[in-house]
Amino acid sequence: MILHANARWPDVKPCLSVLVPFLGDDPSPLLQALEAEKGDHTNRVEIIILDDGTNDPSLTRKLQDLVDTSHHAICLLSSPNNLGRSKGRNLLAAQARGSNLLFIDADMLPDHPDFLRFWLAHIDTQSPAASFGGFSVIQASSAPEYAVHRSMALRSDCLPASIRSQHPEKHVFTSNLLIRRDVFLKNSFDEDFQGWGWEDVEWAMRVTNAHTITHIDNTATHLGLDTVPALMSKYRQSAANFARIAHLHPEYVARYPSYRIAKILRVLNLATLVRMTAKPVAAASFLPASIRGIALRFYRAALYAKALGT
């Protein structure tokens, strides 16, 4: 593991550690947005970036230059091998020095210029065990190939804190998640989850039994919207993880529409038919994004139905 830190790094005693893993994505826009936030409060912040196996020398040099010139205390970790979503985030937490950990994905961008100041104020006034700031697609691409993902995100993910708080464990993503250090030391991410999806929600299900997970409106935009084929690929990766979380936390998962539909499809032996029917509908660019999004949800439920039966 290679560490590249700047001159500010040794002098800062952080309250907040901003932890940014990436694989393939360029975190430069996020770092530049955080760089634009000036003030004495930034003396309480450190930023740690983890290159989780990208192995792109030109990107590494670019990030090292950003690290060297930043007014934040910042360092870059580089792993030659892909550790995975859970293990990579656990490594970042182990390297962090702050009493609070803010996990934010490399393809996120704060929606207002006082993003870090807002988080620090929330820490000072509430000292939350865990808190999710929410995310949006405000600054994301409006290109037609991302219309379905945008439509789905607006419907189910880009929700105000008042709505998210009704099911606090369900609406937790590592895209903009604050965790108090002492809570994380007892509740790290489960490294048995492989590939994409559900490890953050599973973490929240464990933590909510002992701690309150709060939701606030301090959003960041998810810039990395996916095409329909990319979403299908992620759903295929997530099926085994969904089956694992259903086994570990049946009392929570039983409330989810995706689980209820998957169970019906499995009982009626319709999973293969639904998957084969939903796939071309979701891929049909001439259909409205809302219809294609519904088809994608059924495609995902059909994958989950099969995974639940294994």
Residue range 256-302, pLDDT digits in tens: 899 999 999 999 999 999 999 999 999 999 999 999 999 999 999 99
Asked whether the predicted pLDDT for residue 55 surpasses 90, the reply is no
What does the pLDDT read at residue 170?
87
> Could you tell me which residues come within 8 angstroms of residue 285 by beta carbon, excluding any fewer than 6 positions away?
144
Q: Do 156 and 228 contact (CB within 8 A), yes or no? A: no
Mapped onto helix, strand or coil, the DSSP state of residue 210 is coil
pLDDT mean across residues, the chain: 94
- Using pLDDT thresholds of 50, 70 and 90, give the confidence band for residue 194: confident
Torsion of CA 82, 97, 107, 64, to 10 degrees: -80
Q: Provide the domain limits for residue 260.
A: 229-308
Select from 225, 243, 270 the last residue of a domain.
Answer: 225
pLDDT in tens, 23-53: 988 999 999 999 999 999 999 999 999 999 9
First to last CA, the chain: 37
Task: For residues 188 and 273, state if they share a domain.
Answer: no
Report the number of distinct structural domains present in the chain: 2
Asked whether the predicted pLDDT for residue 310 surpasses 70, the reply is no
Residues in the chain: 310
Select from 225, 257, 274 the last residue of a domain.
Answer: 225
Asked whether the predicted pLDDT for residue 157 surpasses 70, the reply is yes
Asked whether the predicted pLDDT for residue 254 surpasses 80, the reply is yes
Instruction: Count CB neighbours of 139 within 10 A.
Output: 15
Task: For residues 89 and 214, state if they share a domain.
Answer: yes
**Please, is 131 exposed, middle or buried when counting C-beta atoms within 10 Å of its C-beta (0-12, 13-18, 19+)?**
buried
What does the pLDDT read at residue 3?
87
Per the listing, tokens 């500010």 go with 8
Task: For residues 178 and 138, state if they share a domain.
Answer: yes
What does the pLDDT read at residue 2?
75
Task: For residues 122 and 17, state if they share a domain.
Answer: yes
Q: Do 295 and 256 contact (CB within 8 A), yes or no? A: no
Tokens standing for residue 233: 């690929």
Select from 200, 225, 250 the last residue of a domain.
Answer: 225
Q: What is the DSSP letter of 74?
A: E
Task: For residues 199 and 257, state if they share a domain.
Answer: no
Task: For residues 162 and 277, state if they share a domain.
Answer: no
pLDDT in tens, 2-21: 789 999 999 999 999 999 99
Q: What is the DSSP letter of 198?
A: S
- 102: domain CATH number is 3.90.550.10
> Phi/psi at 168 (nearest 5 deg)?
-60, -35
Task: For residues 169 and 253, state if they share a domain.
Answer: no
Task: For residues 204 and 235, state if they share a domain.
Answer: no
Task: For residues 102 and 11, state if they share a domain.
Answer: yes
Task: For residues 243 and 203, state if they share a domain.
Answer: no
Global confidence as pTM: 0.94
Tokens standing for residue 213: 């997970």
- Percentage of residues in the chain with pLDDT exceeding 90? 89
Alpha-carbon span 220 to 201, nearest angstrom:
19
pLDDT in tens, 199-242: 999 999 999 989 999 999 999 999 989 999 999 999 999 999 99
Mapped onto helix, strand or coil, the DSSP state of residue 2 is strand
Instruction: Tell me which residue of 112, 82, 97, 111 sits closest to 22, measured CA to CA.
Output: 82
Asked whether the predicted pLDDT for residue 83 surpasses 80, the reply is yes
Task: For residues 211 and 240, state if they share a domain.
Answer: no
Tokens standing for residue 144: 């037609």
Task: For residues 62 and 186, state if they share a domain.
Answer: yes
What does the pLDDT read at residue 223?
94
